[in-house]
Amino acid sequence: MPPVYRGETTFFGAYTEPEHGTDITQLSTVAERKGDKFILRGVKTFITNAPTAKYGIVLAQTDPEKRHRGQTLFIIHTDWPGVQIRKLSGKMGQRASPVGGEITLDNVEVPIDYVVGGEKGINQGFYWTLAYFNVSRLGPAAIALGIMLAAFDKALEYAQKRIQFGQPIINFQLIQEKLARMAMLIEVSRSMLYRAAYYVDSYIKFQIDPRAMAAITSATKVFITDAANQVIDEAIQIHGGYGYFEEFDVERYWRDHRVTRIYEGTNEINLLTITDALRRGGVWKP
């Protein structure tokens, strides 16, 4: 990890497959043990950073019979024999990020040392992936918060400059209402994100039930990414026709934020995670 933290290389996490996106309980990528090695076969898709990273994590089935109880995390290097990475093109937004590489694993030999957690990590991959998502889902929430803040700044500035009916459009009460509602959503989103991050500090010290943490992270991700959807949409509306063209950044903000409701678990599956915690009496309630 140190070269990643130093910014010398990027890193990827490959869970999604062409046939398994939301449902990763039974993967097509398999890892077969041969002595002190595993042989990895399969295809991963939509993998952020795959085209540039030197290495990353792959989730694979080590015991297909056991479904999610038989999955393991492996570290692989992208220049190993049998690893092929294809960059997917035509992405709607976040085009500065080389997202969407497709990774083909053709009998890739992985030494046992590259199993995350060593021997103890075998068949723990699914659970560790969920534990990781409990924290990582705040990433899209933070991205969405940043983009909606930028969109709000642009809208506020534009509303004060744009003259219609002989006056700045911010003088019109319907525009004022939009800006007030946008500001409220930003305030609530920021508080919710910081509070969730505070809980994460306790979670990584094992002081919070994982299902409670999952509910908090999922609620934060869904609320903030939905709020961004509303705020950026209104920012475009305030810009009128100019908001629909790329010269004004709000058009790009729309495209960039859109994926935050899809990756790190779609908002639908995150809503189900919240209700799952609610149904397990005592684990978590709002």
Closer to ligand FAD by CB, 125 or 265: give it.
Answer: 265
Q: H-helix or E-strand containing 44?
A: strand 37-47
| CA atoms of 202 and 138, how far apart (whole Å) | 15
Other beta carbons within 10 Å of 205: 8
Stretch that binds ligand FAD, among 145-153, 179-187, 235-243, 267-275 (CB under 6 A): 267-275
Specify whether 264 is catalytic: yes
| CA atoms of 64 and 205, how far apart (whole Å) | 32
In the shown chain, the binding pattern of residues 108 to 147 toward ligand FAD, with x for contact by CB under 6 A and - for none, equals ----------------------------------------
- What's the chain's length in residues? 286
CB of 187 to ligand FAD, least distance (A): 28
Binding ligand FAD (rule: CB under 6 A), the pick from 69, 268, 275, 280 is 268
DSSP helix/strand/coil, 102: strand
Closer to ligand FAD by CB, 55 or 263: give it.
Answer: 263
255 burial class (0-12, 13-18, 19+ CB within 10 angstroms)? middle
- Residue 15 near ligand FAD by CB under 6 A: yes
Contact indicator for 94, 256 with CB cutoff of 8 Å? yes
Active-site residue identified among 102, 234, 264, 268: 264
Q: Which two tokens stand for residue 143?
A: 């991205």
- Residue 76 near ligand FAD by CB under 6 A: no
Binding ligand FAD (rule: CB under 6 A), the pick from 73, 99, 213, 250 is 99
Binding ligand FAD (rule: CB under 6 A), the pick from 141, 151, 193, 259 is 259
Q: List, in order, residues 6 or more apart from 251 with CB less than 8 Å away.
A: 236, 243, 244, 245
Site for ligand FAD, rule CB under 6 A: 12-16, 21-22, 46-48, 99-100, 259, 262-263, 265-266, 268-269, 272
Active site residues: 264
